[in-house]
Chain A
Amino acid sequence: MNKHLMHCATLFLLLLAAACTRQDATWQRIAQDGVLRIGMDPTFPPFEEFAFDTVQGIDVDLAQALATELGLTTEFVFLGYDGLYDGLAVGRYDVLLSGIVPDMRRTQDFAFSEPYFNAGLVLITRADSAIGRIQEMADRTLAVELGADGHVTATEWQRQFPDLTVVPLASAEAALQAVLDESADAALVDNISAQLFLAAEPALIIVDEAVTVEPFAAVVRIEDEELLRRLDEVLQKVAESGKLQQIISHWMRP
């Protein structure tokens, strides 16, 4: 048994040493070049989009803020949404930052940072509404985007609150407008649509509750542990300084 344990321990140490070598190599290369290469699909406003000859958005500014904290400059590499993980796997960039929701099935090959935005569903009401939480939706009218995730969740809620009236509308904006027009008591939409709409409509508020969690996180290759550690460190710093919220508020405008 002891011999077996010794073999296991030796194997573990060898694997650890191999992993450390690769991890150091990646971070060392970044530190040596002074450049953090970031992959993204620039078709997802307000997180990333092309504007004339440049790319802009929350992920772009966040990448620059993180790189600045790390003493690096940024280089953006663009790829279609379907190929983003593949681009990272083959080393076309060091970090994937493109509104990516962590996928547990990919954790064998990739590691995810702490989340920096929740894009899940939120409940929106008028600022003067008595609704303060989901449980108070019984006997109310709820506007949703026809066919979207909010509609599916609202249908589930109807089992819990049979008196809940669900009003499917053509878009998330239409659902939010219905709340503003008082034809609905609340709307259940994704947080991005909500934030964009609310930036121009202070009469509406997000009920202080994330109905579903769809976190956006940065992605690195699984062996790049040092890079991940440093990214998490500066991400926390950027969040605590208020810079992250400042970036989000800047781009979440109509």
Chain B
Amino acid sequence: MNSIEVDHLTKKFGDFVAVNEISFQVREGEIFGFLGANGAGKTTAIKMMSGLLQPTSGKAIVAGYDVTTQAKLIKRNIGYMSQRFSLYNDLTVFENMQLFGTIYKIPRTELKQRIMDSLAALELTKQANLLVNSIPLGWKQKLAFATAILHKPKIVFLDEPTSGVDPIVRREFWNLIYQTASTGVTILVTTHYMDEAEYCHRISIMADGNIRLLGTPEELKQQVGVSTINDVFVEYVKH
């Protein structure tokens, strides 16, 4: 089963083509790496897939819904976490999760249970009543991820989730991603760390609004004839 099906998706801002007829599919439970230089069109593509931005042309089916006509249903079934930490700093860990959980209409008692469970899994139970402001960035990112999957979305969009955190937290974060994917949740992740790209099931490399390469990390390395994804990336974004 494919949980994301993108078909000739295009977004133009005036004369500028931000995303140019991209097509790809992502399977359920797959970790899909969405790579590309800054300004390659990744964020625009994610915005269209998450129902925030209407495509100029083309089609995208996300979690079984059409992005042009069923944006509301898509929003209900996806989670999103951004490169910039964007929970409320002056709310406690618990209050942040309660806020977003309530917005996704999770029933009160169940929400409380889910928050407690997910905090326990992150070993953040003791910090539940601390202001988010006062916890380290690495924990914040894990918290943001836990909040993004609180409503049990079918797909999670992670926009550079690990930028600015230390290697240990990055490793822990990827363990979380694997755990989540193993329960059947599809993960679409963008990153600038090429070692992280190796962790993905499949990756695509975007440049100038087009998808230049698509495949498993092994396939891409063979195809380009280099030994690391880093070299693949440099080779392809250069042109």
Q: Do A and B originate from a single complex?
A: no
Q: Please give the residue numbers on chain A whose beta carbons come within 8 Å of chain B beta carbons, in ascending order.
A: none
